[in-house]
Structure 1
Amino acid sequence: MRQSACEYLKNMSYQRLNVEPSFNFHEWLVGFTDGSGCFSITQQSQNLQCTFKITQSVYNYRVLYYIKKNIGYGSITQDGFKRVQYCIRDTKILKQIILPIFEIYPLHTSKHIVYVLWKQALLYPELRSVVQSRILSASYLTCLDNLFEVKPIEVTKQSDSDVRRAILSKSLSQKRLEPTKSWIVGFVEADGSFFLTKKGSEGDIVHTFCITQKHDYALLEQLKKRFHIKAKIKHNQKTKAYVLETTNTRNIRFLIQFFHGTFKGMKSLEYRIWARSFVKNKGLSDELLTVQNQLRKLKKVKV
């Protein structure tokens, strides 16, 4: 007898009780930041100010309130049309709260390069104008694929070599680290896509999972391995981005179980619609077409 979607998803939660590590908000936050966060230096009156910021569509404002509630600091404001942003500009809070999180739990994308520069600006205010130009310069943006190209700004003759060794050591350790589940959940919540698409000559509607990255091919390889995806990572010539995508039934089942009950924002709604339709409607074209249109409408709301 075929299980209902609710029974299937409920059974998965029981299966995971003794095998999954507990959720780590800080790791989740680092993953979400790797996907949607920003470390910047902006002009405020006569001073340059370091800022930690995460921007989302108004559609997903709830995830920013979730972040603010857990961090305990920061502000949420409008950021143009249909966009909201969570910001922390207070130097004391950045040093005491934000910096330790990203020192303990590393970024896994090339955003790590910007973070290293931003951290120097936060700790050494006299370097902020130099760091700002480096972050914005084309030379740094074009080397984002290679963590080893990061060169720390000279602080003093005595400390320069120590800073350089520390950053190189950090980069080396990151190269060996595998993303944790909490990080992956945060990253996919920010950058992953769950949708339905037509496949094959008969136009069958199939469930699809996709992540796109412009610079971080190595990270996609790690996720490909973690999700047991056999499909090759493709390079989109039009967007100049790498694409990890699967429609494989076994992969989809694994992903449904992996992400069950994990998302904090509106991604949870998209995931639930996607996952339940796989369990309940797989192979039923009319029903899947309805779900496909439903997910497309949600996507339009986000834009």
Structure 2
Amino acid sequence: MTLSPDWIVGFVDGEGCFSFSLVKNDTLRFKYQIQGEFTVVQHKRDIALLYKLKSYFKCGSVTQNHGERYHFRVKNLNHFLTIIIPFFEKHQLQTNKRFQLPVFKNICLGLEAKQHFTEEGFNELKKLVKELADLKK
């Protein structure tokens, strides 16, 4: 089975997640690191689908999540900006994730522009991370 863009959109609408987290790190200037990921989780019986996503996007990894659950995960900022976001801008998500994607993109663009190196920029990105989390509720 070859994955079609429409199939991928439907699958990600149901099983995918666009997220950013603030991870405590006392060695950093503002004491937190902003980490993003695009993830799709499946039971190990469907791990072949995760490998097909990895092959389709030509990035990310497939690893054990917990127990018998595995995930396809992308954590690379460049891959977000050049592969994942453009795909979902071209092939629009249908669920609430379509509102999450622009916020996810704005965080990525802020990180790419190194806004997190200033206190003002870091605080703005923190607000966007909270907004993205609120959109997932």
| Residues 132, 82 of structure 1: alpha-carbon distance in 2 compared, 3 angstrom cutoff | same
How far is 1:98 from its partner?
0.8
Give the aligned partner of residue 68 of structure 1.
54
Q: TM-score normalized by structure 1?
A: 0.36
How far is 1:118 from its partner?
1.0
Give the aligned partner of residue 130 of structure 1.
127
Q: TM-score normalized by structure 2?
A: 0.76
How far is 1:28 from its partner?
2.1
Matched residue pairs, number? 118
CA contact (8 A) 2:39 2:73 kept: yes
How far is 1:88 from its partner?
0.6
SS of equivalent to 1:79: strand
**Two-structure CA RMSD over aligned residues (Å):** 1.9
How far is 1:128 from its partner?
2.9
How far is 1:84 from its partner?
0.4
Give the Cα separation in 2 of the matches to 1:73 and 1:123. 19
Q: 2:84 aligns with which of 58, 73, 98?
A: 98
For structure 1, list consecutive stretches of 5 or more residues without a partner in the other structure.
1-22, 143-303
How far is 1:102 from its partner?
0.8
Tell me the alpha carbon deviations over residues 120-140 of structure 1, each in whole angstroms, 9 at most, x when there is no partner. Answer: 111113443111111223xx4
Q: 1:107 aligns with which of 77, 93, 96?
A: 93
Structure in which a larger fraction of residues adopt strand:
2
| Residues 78, 43 of structure 1: alpha-carbon distance in 2 compared, 3 angstrom cutoff | farther
Give the aligned partner of residue 56 of structure 1.
42
Q: State the percentage of identical aligned residues.
A: 26
Q: How does 1:163-182 map to 2 (within 5 A)?
A: none
| Residues 35, 141 of structure 1: alpha-carbon distance in 2 compared, 3 angstrom cutoff | closer
- Is residue 35 from structure 1 mapped to residue 32 from structure 2 by the alignment? no
Give the Cα separation in 1 of the matches to 2:136 and 2:52. 31
| Residues 81, 24 of structure 1: alpha-carbon distance in 2 compared, 3 angstrom cutoff | closer
How far is 1:52 from its partner?
0.8
How far is 1:32 from its partner?
1.1
Tell me the alpha carbon deviations over residues 55-102 of structure 1, each in whole angstroms, 9 at most, x when there is no partner. Answer: 111121110011111211111111111110111111111111111101
Give the aligned partner of residue 218 of structure 1.
none
Give the aligned partner of residue 264 of structure 1.
none
Give the Cα separation in 2 of the matches to 1:85 and 1:75. 8
Tell me the alpha carbon deviations over residues 148-205 of structure 1, each in whole angstroms, 9 at most, x when there is no partner. Answer: xxxxxxxxxxxxxxxxxxxxxxxxxxxxxxxxxxxxxxxxxxxxxxxxxxxxxxxxxx
For structure 2, list consecutive stretches of 5 or more residues without a partner in the other structure.
26-31, 116-123
Give the aligned partner of residue 26 of structure 1.
5
Give the aligned partner of residue 119 of structure 2.
none
How far is 1:141 from its partner?
4.9
| Residues 62, 42 of structure 1: alpha-carbon distance in 2 compared, 3 angstrom cutoff | same
How far is 1:24 from its partner?
6.5
CA contact (8 A) 1:36 1:54 kept: yes
Give the Cα separation in 2 of the matches to 1:31 and 1:69. 18
SS of equivalent to 1:124: helix
Give the Cα separation in 2 of the matches to 1:56 and 1:67. 12
Give the Cα separation in 2 of the matches to 1:48 and 1:90. 12
* Larger RCO of the pair (alpha carbons < 8 Å, separation 6+): 2
